[in-house]
């Protein structure tokens, strides 16, 4: 089943202008607050009227402004789990889940509600009201309600953002289970980079209403098409770049020359993700041509499991700023933290990526 989207809608700060097509499976839509992510979902769902555009689901036209087609939201067979689309407080969990089942028999409704609540791991909560549920249980009930109509498309807008860390993990597992069995298009809006990567096979990066990147998640992360997309997908290390020869660039801000595997006609920047920076033994660093460089630790920051190291590639002087951020697990950090400096880092040619101006 394929979803085709062309949406144009004028907003106060910019015009939302998005086109893409996806098949079955989850698509993560990543972008900063105010980039148009929620408005895009609401326009696809029929809750907002696009200024111009077309939306088709498996050949069924839901919107075609040129032809005057605008199928009402209730008839689009779209399941919605929006952050602000709360459960009805005066209805029980079972009544909430059954809300969209208007045209089925009482027996079929009861069977479907029981099956959905079992899939959502909320069996036994039928007669409770939303105020009597935890945040995670409320989201599971809302997901069951979205799936009750047997939708052909699932839209989820920041479904995990209001949950604490433990509940987020539980609900994320629930969504992965749902996507595995849904086998239809699902669009997941988030501003959480790791959440977008874990839950979606494909990724669309939105910036001020425009598609900044679209493709398989690994390709978007491994070869971001612009400096903006690299930043939006969490990369922290950039330098202005100048081509030197085939496969070699000069990283102007890092003060070094780098071998790169990627080819780009006119690279303006080079980047590497923090977890791709590798620490090597000094004896392995015989040749700078292998992208191995001495480095000095200027600052560090710890979390329970990881350490962020702020490194200088030149002998530090007072007032100097760091060149690179590296992220390592604490076990690795314990192995080399007591070594005398300079340490040595390798910036693998395959891990480096080039970006145009």
The answer to whether the beta carbons of residues 274 and 327 sit under 8 Å apart is yes
The answer to whether the beta carbons of residues 31 and 210 sit under 8 Å apart is no
Q: What span, in angstroms and rounded, lies between the C-alpha atoms of 355 and 342?
A: 30
- Taking only the tens place, the pLDDT of each residue in 122-168 is 999 999 999 999 888 888 899 899 998 889 999 999 888 877 888 78
CA nearest neighbour of 148 among 202, 194, 189, 93: 93
- Taking only the tens place, the pLDDT of each residue in 316-349 is 877 778 999 999 999 999 988 889 999 999 999 9
Are residues 293 and 313 both part of a single domain? yes
Cβ-based neighbours of 261, under 8 Å, separated by 6 or more: 247, 349, 350, 352
Q: Among the three residues 231, 265, 294, which one is the final residue of a domain in this structure?
A: 231
Are residues 35 and 180 both part of a single domain? yes
Are residues 82 and 167 both part of a single domain? yes
Q: Among the three residues 231, 250, 274, which one is the final residue of a domain in this structure?
A: 231
Q: Among the three residues 231, 257, 272, which one is the final residue of a domain in this structure?
A: 231
Cβ-based neighbours of 12, under 8 Å, separated by 6 or more: none
Are residues 216 and 291 both part of a single domain? no
- Taking only the tens place, the pLDDT of each residue in 18-70 is 999 999 999 999 999 899 999 999 999 999 999 999 999 999 999 999 999 99
5 phi, psi to nearest 5 deg: -130, 130
Are residues 244 and 221 both part of a single domain? no
The answer to whether the beta carbons of residues 19 and 211 sit under 8 Å apart is yes
To the nearest whole percent, how much of the chain has pLDDT over 70? 97
Locus of tokens 């992510």: 37
Across the chain, how many H-helices and E-strands are there?
9, 21
Are residues 337 and 261 both part of a single domain? yes
Are residues 226 and 79 both part of a single domain? yes
Q: What span, in angstroms and rounded, lies between the C-alpha atoms of 9 and 7?
A: 7
* pLDDT tops 90 at residue 87: no
Are residues 63 and 202 both part of a single domain? yes
Question: Which pair of tokens denotes residue 298?
Answer: 């200027």
Are residues 214 and 243 both part of a single domain? no
- 99-111 in b/e form (b: 16+ CB < 10 A) is ebbeeeeeeebee
Are residues 184 and 254 both part of a single domain? no
Are residues 213 and 285 both part of a single domain? no
- Taking only the tens place, the pLDDT of each residue in 114-133 is 998 998 889 999 999 999 99
Q: Which domain holds residue 28?
A: 3-231
Q: What span, in angstroms and rounded, lies between the C-alpha atoms of 268 and 234?
A: 19
Locus of tokens 């590639």: 313
Sign of CA dihedral 312, 314, 317, 321: negative
Cis status of the peptide bond prior to 151, with omega within 30 of 0 = no
DSSP 8-state code for residue 170: H
Half-sphere exposure of 83 (CA within 13 A, CB side): 14
Return the pLDDT at 284: 53
Q: What span, in angstroms and rounded, lies between the C-alpha atoms of 126 and 112?
A: 13
Q: How many domains does the chain have?
A: 2
CA nearest neighbour of 187 among 89, 266, 285, 80: 80
The residue-averaged pLDDT of 81-101 equals 85
Number of neighbours of residue 77 by Cβ within 10 angstroms: 17
Are residues 36 and 74 both part of a single domain? yes
Q: What span, in angstroms and rounded, lies between the C-alpha atoms of 17 and 41?
A: 13
75 phi, psi to nearest 5 deg: -105, 5
The mean of the pLDDT values for the chain is: 91
- Taking only the tens place, the pLDDT of each residue in 258-288 is 999 999 989 999 999 999 999 998 655 445 5
Q: Give the domain CATH number at 218.
A: 3.40.50.300
């Amino acid at each position: 089943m394929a979803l085709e989207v062309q949406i144009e809608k004028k907003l106060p700060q910019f015009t939302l202008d998005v086109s893409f097509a996806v098949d079955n499976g989850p698509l993560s839509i990543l972008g900063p607050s105010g980039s148009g992510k929620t408005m895009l979902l609401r326009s696809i769902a029929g809750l907002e009227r696009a200024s111009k555009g077309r939306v088709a689901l498996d050949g069924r036209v839901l919107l075609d402004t040129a032809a005057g087609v605008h199928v009402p939201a209730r008839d689009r067979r779209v399941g919605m789990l929006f952050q602000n689309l709360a459960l009805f407080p005066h209805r029980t969990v079972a009544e909430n889940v059954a809300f969209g089942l208007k045209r089925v028999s009482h027996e079929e409704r009861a069977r479907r509600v029981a099956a959905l609540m079992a899939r959502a791991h909320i069996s036994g909560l039928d007669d409770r009201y939303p105020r009597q549920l935890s945040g995670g249980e409320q989201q599971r009930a809302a997901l069951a309600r979205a799936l009750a109509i047997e939708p052909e498309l699932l839209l989820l807008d920041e479904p995990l953002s209001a949950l604490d860390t433990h509940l987020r993990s539980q609900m994320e597992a629930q969504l992965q289970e749902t996507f595995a069995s849904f086998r239809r298009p699902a669009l997941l809006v988030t501003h959480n980079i790791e959440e977008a990567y874990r839950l979606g096979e494909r990724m669309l990066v939105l910036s001020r209403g425009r598609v900044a990147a679209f493709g398989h998640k690994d390709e978007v992360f491994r070869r971001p098409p612009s400096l903006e997309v690299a930043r939006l997908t969490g990369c922290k290390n950039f330098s202005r770049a100048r081509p030197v020869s085939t496969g070699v660039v000069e990283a102007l801000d890092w003060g070094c020359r780098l071998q790169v595997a990627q080819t780009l006609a006119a690279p303006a920047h080079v980047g590497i993700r923090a977890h791709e920076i590798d620490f090597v033994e000094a004896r392995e660093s015989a040749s700078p041509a292998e992208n191995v460089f001495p480095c000095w630790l200027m600052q560090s920051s710890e979390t329970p499991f990881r350490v962020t190291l702020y490194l200088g590639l030149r002998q530090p002087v007072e007032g100097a700023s760091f060149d690179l951020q590296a992220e390592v697990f604490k076990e690795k950090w314990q192995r080399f933290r007591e070594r005398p400096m300079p340490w040595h880092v390798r910036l693998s040619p395959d891990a480096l990526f080039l970006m145009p101006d």
